[in-house]
Copies of this chain bind each other. A is one copy, B any other.
Amino acid sequence: MDVFGALASPVRRELVQLLLERPRSAGELAANFSMSRPSVSEHLKVLRDAGLVSERRYGRRRLYRLEAEPFRELSQWLGPYERFWRDKLAGLRAVLEEDES
């Protein structure tokens, strides 16, 4: 599953959002959800496989942290569309000003 597929799940987007604040352990992450801990662990695996997060072991804990690169790629993918909607807004503004005059 690629980056887009990984972010398609609301649960995984929430995980990613939690990791944006700071790295957290698997258990701490799981505590934020009503689903079972193993299920959260599976979601973490999806995020890992997509390269969105990495994991380091500290004793019996595993700290998950956000990886920057995939988000950079996402941003690049979005670039052309961003230009698209900015142009749309600019066009809209022009029309509104036209009406005012």
Contacts and interface: CB of A to CB of B under 8 A. Distances in A.
21 contacts: A4-B8, A4-B13, A7-B8, A20-B80, A20-B81, A20-B84, A66-B81, A68-B84, A68-B85, A68-B89, A71-B78, A71-B81, A71-B84, A71-B85, A74-B78, A74-B81, A75-B78, A75-B81, A75-B82, A75-B85, A78-B78
Judged by DSSP, the binding face of A is helix
A76 to B, nearest CB: 11
Question: Which 7 pairs across A and B sit closest by C-beta, in order of nearness?
Answer: A68-B85, A8-B8, A68-B88, A71-B81, A5-B8, A72-B85, A4-B8
A11 to B, nearest CB: 12
